[in-house]
Amino acid sequence: DIQMTQSPSSLSASVGDRVTITCRASQSISRYLNWYQQKPGKAPKLLIYAASSLQSGVPSRFSGSGSGTDFTLTISSLQPEDFAAYFCQQSYSTPPTFGQGTSLEIK
């Protein structure tokens, strides 16, 4: 299985901050990388697919980049509703695997 490693595991930030979360794959996955947001007690929500494509309805302050083994999710200006957990997921090979998650907390 392809291992996905996110950093940091947790992050404290303030409203208006620019935040970057990193995801690293144990082998090259081209651009087969998705990002999800999960709020407590809720299902994950797709934010970004194919490393940098914004899912319909997702605010433009979210962006993704990277290819191969290294990827980033950036939130350009944090809003109160963005405090949540974020997961990356590779869809390059079966089984699809997720990162362990990054918890974004209010400073």
Partner 1 sequence: QVQLQESGPGLVKPSGTLSLTCAVSGGSINNSNWWSWVRQPPGKGLEWIGEIYHSGSTNYNPSLKSRVTMSVDKSKSQFSLKLSSVTAADTAVYYCARVGKGGLLGFVFLDYWGQGTLVTVSS
Alpha helices in 56-107 (DSSP H): none
Q: Which of 8, 42, 93, 106 binds partner 1 (CB under 8 A)?
A: 42
Q: Residues 6 or more apart from 74 whose CB is under 8 A from it?
A: 18, 19, 20, 21, 62, 63, 64, 65
Sole binder of partner 1 in the list 5, 55, 63, 76 (CB under 8 A): 55
CB 70 within 8 A of CB 24: yes
Rule CB under 8 A: is residue 66 a binding residue for partner 1? no
- Interatomic CA distance for residues 22 and 84, integer angstroms: 15
Helix (H) or strand (E) holding 51: none
Query: Is 54 among the residues that bind partner 1 (CB under 8 A)?
Result: no
State the minimum distance, in angstroms, from the CB of residue 64 to partner 1.
Answer: 12
Shortest Å distance, C-beta 55 to partner 1:
7
| Member of 28, 53, 77, 79 binding partner 1 (CB under 8 A) | 53
Can residue 2 be called a binding residue for partner 1 (CB under 8 A)?
no
Of positions 23, 36, 64, 78, contacts partner 1 by CB under 8 A: 36
